[in-house]
Amino acid sequence: MERDPIHHDAVERATDIFRALSNPVRVAIVRELALGERAVHELVEALSVPQPRISEHLATLRGARLVDRERQGRSVTYRLTDHHVAHIVEDAVVHAGEQGSTNDTS
């Protein structure tokens, strides 16, 4: 199989995406947002993570341009900006689960 020529900018962007996803809470946030928009308080409730930590992780995901936000009064709602990332995350989680089950010796 022949690959397209490597474009430095695309490799850098891919690296930025993987860096932003290199935390379990951020992976969980992406999985939640793949289901639809969520307010911060909904992410706090769904993930059982304190609000300040959720906000920190959302800031990282925003910095990587993976999520966007919309203020609605006092509430802030987040959404994925790129659903390809949701597929990458889900494939990785499924793959990791498969790897874990093949390594079980019980």
On the question of pLDDT at 103 being above 70, the answer is: no
Closest CA to 49 of 26, 33, 30, 72: 26
On the question of pLDDT at 105 being above 50, the answer is: no
Q: What sections of the chain are H helices per DSSP?
A: 8-20, 24-33, 40-47, 51-63, 83-103
- Burial class from Cβ neighbours inside 10 Å (0-12, 13-18, 19+) for residue 88 reads middle
Rounded Cα distance between 57 and 25, Å, is: 7
On whether the CB atoms of residues 78 and 68 are closer than 8 A, the answer is: yes
pTM greater than 0.75 (yes/no): yes
Q: Which residue has the tokens 């911060």?
A: 40
* Residue-wise pLDDT tens digits, 42-75: 999 999 999 999 999 999 999 999 999 999 888 8
Which CATH code for domain 8-103? 1.10.10.10
pLDDT at 7: 82
Q: What is the residue extent of each domain of the chain?
A: 8-103
